[in-house]
Structure 1
Amino acid sequence: MSARQSRVSAMSDFNSTYSENDENKPPEKRLTAFEKLSRDLSNDQKCLKEITLGKRIAFYRIRGQLGTGNFSQVKMGIHALTREKVAIKILDKTKLDQKTQRLLSREISSMEKLHHPNVIRLYEVVETLAKLHMVMEYANGGELFNKISNEGKLPESEAKSVFAQVMAAVQHMHEHQIIHRDLKAENVFYAGTKLIKVGDFGFSTVSRPDQTLNTFCGSPPYAAPELFKDESYYGTYVDIWALGIMLYFMVTGIMPFRAETVGKLKKVILDGYYSIPMYLSEPCQDLIKSVLQQTPIDRLTVGKIIEHKWLENQEFPEALEEYNLNPALDDNGNLKDEEVQARNMLRELGINQDHIKQAHGKESRSCITGTYRIILHRLQKKKLGYYDILEQEQNHSSQNGNSGTKSTNSKNGKSKLCTIL
């Protein structure tokens, strides 16, 4: 297959639908944004060159690199129609074995099911012959791990807010029977000074509360004792243990279990001995002790952690409305306000009801769905006041002479939320 045929194949879900006969093509000035983009992706030499060089994929222009993983690299992208910044996780399919392919499939499936302010959102999946691209929410605040490593432990007042948001995210996951299996400070991200996102679902799986698992996943310093015993385990308890390790790290700046090798770390964790600094408040100490229990069933449940005295008066954000291209009617049989607005914005871009129907059933593997999700998520964040919060932070930063980050314009809805996976 030629390079051009590959490009055409990669864009088949919109090229075949929106190609036009030359004799019927309207003048340039009458093309909608969607029509112009679709035409350029098929015929414009600059666009085709960018695709060949890996600087563009489908509706996204690819920019600088954000991070790398064992099987992937993450780059920043810009959605050509909405101008929304996104994070694009790029995987080379030729290097993925069957196990990794299964994990990738689970990662996509898990992210499809989650709709929460504190969970990184999946917008679209774009697949070519050689690569798979996961287009996700983009944030520039960095990892919780790096913040603590560079600045030291968090004050308890700040740690409470961060941990409450993480707990809200994990509760949402478990309600959907999704076990993260890699909860750690490296997978918690700042989308603003006070806005937290949990990401990287590469080891996630679906598991009922009464169902056992047997695959060792995650980072050894966060691994529960039962993972080292070559026994089956319950996923929720493993996530809860990891939350206890994360909390300890947040408020002390160090890990409760430390060793030079994985073998020695295993022994330390199985022995179960660790010390809690006396400078921590009694409720904080009690919560750590109540979570880091050797016996899984003795650990506090997610619900009990949320109700714990240490987290009194903290906000636990609720799940967002699920978004899809199928009408989600309210009790009166009408579309919800955000969905009406999102569809109006799609029409302004030139995406009509016929286009939406053709995207039905493709879920994230449709450029129409991706555009819709980006627009709707932007509206949801605006409704929750996230843009106002971010704008206040930017203004405060500017007043203090810190111009290292560009300000966010809440009026035009441009987001600076992101993830580095």
Structure 2
Amino acid sequence: MIGKTIGQGTFGKVKLGHHILTGERVAVKILEKEKIKDTGDAERVSREFNILKMVKHPNIVQLYEIIETPKQFYLIMEFANGGELFDYIVAHGKVKESQACRIFTQTLTGLEYLHSIGVAHRDLKPENLLIDNENNIKIVDFGLSIKFKAGETLKTACGSPCYAAPEMIAGKRYNGCKSDVWSLGIVLFALVCGYLPFEDPNTGQLYKKILIGEFKCAKWVSTECRDLIKKILNTNPDERFSIDQIRAHPWCSIVSFRSLPPIDRKIDDKIIKIMGSLGLEEEEAKKQLENKRHNHITATYFLLAKKFLNRSGKIDRNGSNTAREVSPVSLNNKTIVAEKRIRHRKYSVTPSRGITAKAQIKPQEPSAPKPVNMPGRLSKNYLGNRLYIKTENKSKDLSQNTSRKSPLECENAHDFSFG
């Protein structure tokens, strides 16, 4: 079942979803094909599909299924009921360093995994970090992410201006991993200070501040944390701390860090048996899992795994309600088997947004901005709503792009279809 709208993205909406067979809540990201007519947009969506299909990490949102209709793509994804890290920071003003350390190291671990499989995120920010029901971090929104080869540099400047690395802003070719580390440093600053190190209502002035790299931490930030932020926010990418150096820094040891258990790729026969009891073919389920498909069968498996598996990896039969039998439901005037249906509370997939350090905000109603020389609490503004891409020293504002020519064409489009 699909519920209410809980987010608005560039190409469509994000809705609550409820998976009928398992009773689990999921996020449903709906992409309208009519909004994906520009070649660049089509490539972005195709990249996001492919990257989401390959990633499997406890600190990265999991893709369960992609459903295609004549007018939409439906991405059925993991549900994180704690909402955005951004909103958490806004609600609390700042985060205690012990808690910030846990959030930071989990994000670092997820980012390290992405880099290990050759993926640069390129839009890391609190809006793209979700919190699950156990207060664990989930990295989301891979619309600007890209695959890279060892030693390869990138040229497209993209993401949210307040989080962009100086080498990217300068129009230079850049290392995607080092650029992501810079963005992670901005996230750490926002966590412990409650505002951003670089902000200005004028984008040109903002870029100058980032290129200079001068910032001032809040007085309550510890010496060790200040030192780590300084090492990460080094405008020289060659001298910027690497992930290994960050992990070895004393501040990252202020709380004991235990990595979340990896997503088990081994097929669990007990879960397969449960699927059989729900009317699914057990051998077909194994075949689909072995082939690493993303369809209603594998979605059911992973949702059951999430539902019944505790941290020891054993079936926990005391933790949930009984799954219901499959029944047809209606979606966009088409009848679809309910085992493909979905639900979710707060999964935000929005266009790139900036943050200003100088404006107060309440959870529902923002107040007037403060003077720019007075650091205030973290808040959203319109500065980062536009995606800037610089090619051959010319900036292109994609939010004003009206040249839409070709429809979306994904490789192996049959992988995303159903029926």
Deviation at 1:171, TM superposition (A): 1.1
Q: Deviations over 1:372-417 (max 9, x none)?
A: 222234345x2269x99xxxxxxxxxxxxxxxxxxxx834499989
Tell me the equivalent position of 2:389: none
Deviation at 1:80, TM superposition (A): 1.6
Higher strand proportion? 2
Tell me the equivalent position of 1:62: 2
Q: Distance in 2 between matches of 1:348 and 1:129?
A: 33
Deviation at 1:163, TM superposition (A): 0.8
2:257 to 295, 311, 315: 315
Q: Distance in 1 between matches of 2:247 and 2:322?
A: 32
Q: Distance in 2 between matches of 1:319 and 1:240?
A: 24
- Is the Cα contact below 8 Å between 1:121 and 1:137 reproduced in 2? yes
Structure 1 residue matching 2:158: 3-state secondary structure: coil
Q: Which letter maps to 1:72?
A: G
Tell me the equivalent position of 2:167: 226
Deviation at 1:139, TM superposition (A): 1.8
Q: Identify unmatched segments of 5+ residues in structure 1.
A: 1-60, 329-334, 389-408
1:99 to 40, 60, 80: 40
Q: Which letter maps to 2:136?
A: L
Deviation at 1:360, TM superposition (A): 6.8
- Is the Cα contact below 8 Å between 1:86 and 1:418 reproduced in 2? no
Q: Which letter maps to 1:207?
A: F
Whether 1:410 aligns to 2:319 is yes
Tell me the equivalent position of 1:136: 77
Whether 1:76 aligns to 2:16 is yes
Tell me the equivalent position of 1:87: 27
Distance 1:272 1:135, change over 3 A: same
Distance 1:375 1:384, change over 3 A: same
- Is the Cα contact below 8 Å between 1:212 and 1:233 reproduced in 2? yes
Sequence identity percentage: 35
Q: Distance in 2 between matches of 1:131 and 1:309?
A: 48
Q: Distance in 1 between matches of 2:155 and 2:261?
A: 30
Deviation at 1:319, TM superposition (A): 5.9
Q: Which letter maps to 2:280?
A: I
2:302 to 368, 373, 377: 373
Q: Distance in 1 between matches of 2:296 and 2:102?
A: 36
Distance 1:305 1:159, change over 3 A: same
Q: Which letter maps to 1:91?
A: L
Q: Distance in 2 between matches of 1:238 and 1:262?
A: 19
Tell me the equivalent position of 1:340: 269
Tell me the equivalent position of 2:221: 280
Q: Distance in 2 between matches of 1:77 and 1:147?
A: 23
Whether 1:350 aligns to 2:279 is yes
Q: Deviations over 1:331-376 (max 9, x none)?
A: xxxx5xxx11221111111111453377478744422122122223
Tell me the equivalent position of 1:152: 93
Q: Distance in 2 between matches of 1:413 and 1:236?
A: 44
Q: Which letter maps to 1:315?
A: F
- Is the Cα contact below 8 Å between 1:103 and 1:202 reproduced in 2? yes
- Is the Cα contact below 8 Å between 1:120 and 1:197 reproduced in 2? yes
- Is the Cα contact below 8 Å between 2:165 and 2:179 reproduced in 1? yes
Q: Distance in 2 between matches of 1:351 and 1:277?
A: 56
Q: Deviations over 1:281-335 (max 9, x none)?
A: 1110110000000111111111211121001143242562454xxxx4xxxxxx5
Q: Which letter maps to 2:262?
A: L
| TM superposition score normalised by structure 2 | 0.72
Q: Distance in 2 between matches of 1:319 and 1:98?
A: 39
Whether 1:118 aligns to 2:37 is no
275-284 vs 215-224, which deviates more?
Answer: 275-284
- Is the Cα contact below 8 Å between 2:120 and 2:146 reproduced in 1? yes
Q: Distance in 2 between matches of 1:417 and 1:314?
A: 31
Q: Deviations over 1:109-164 (max 9, x none)?
A: 22222222211110000001110000001122111111112220101111111111
- Is the Cα contact below 8 Å between 2:60 and 2:140 reproduced in 1? yes
Whether 1:294 aligns to 2:235 is yes
Q: Identify unmatched segments of 5+ residues in structure 2.
A: 324-342, 350-419
Tell me the equivalent position of 1:244: 185
- Is the Cα contact below 8 Å between 1:117 and 1:197 reproduced in 2? yes
410-419 vs 76-85, which deviates more?
Answer: 410-419
Whether 1:188 aligns to 2:188 is no
Looking at CA atoms only, which structure, 1 or 2, has the larger radius of gyration? 1
Q: Distance in 2 between matches of 1:108 and 1:377?
A: 22
Deviation at 1:259, TM superposition (A): 0.6
Q: Distance in 1 between matches of 2:224 and 2:30?
A: 43
Q: Distance in 1 between matches of 2:210 and 2:319?
A: 47
Tell me the equivalent position of 1:204: 145
Structure 1 residue matching 2:138: 3-state secondary structure: strand
Q: Which letter maps to 1:383?
A: R
Distance 1:166 1:283, change over 3 A: same
- Is the Cα contact below 8 Å between 1:62 and 1:75 reproduced in 2? yes
Q: What is the count of residue pairs matched by the alignment? A: 326
411-420 vs 340-349, which deviates more?
Answer: 411-420
Higher helix proportion? 1
Tell me the equivalent position of 1:397: none
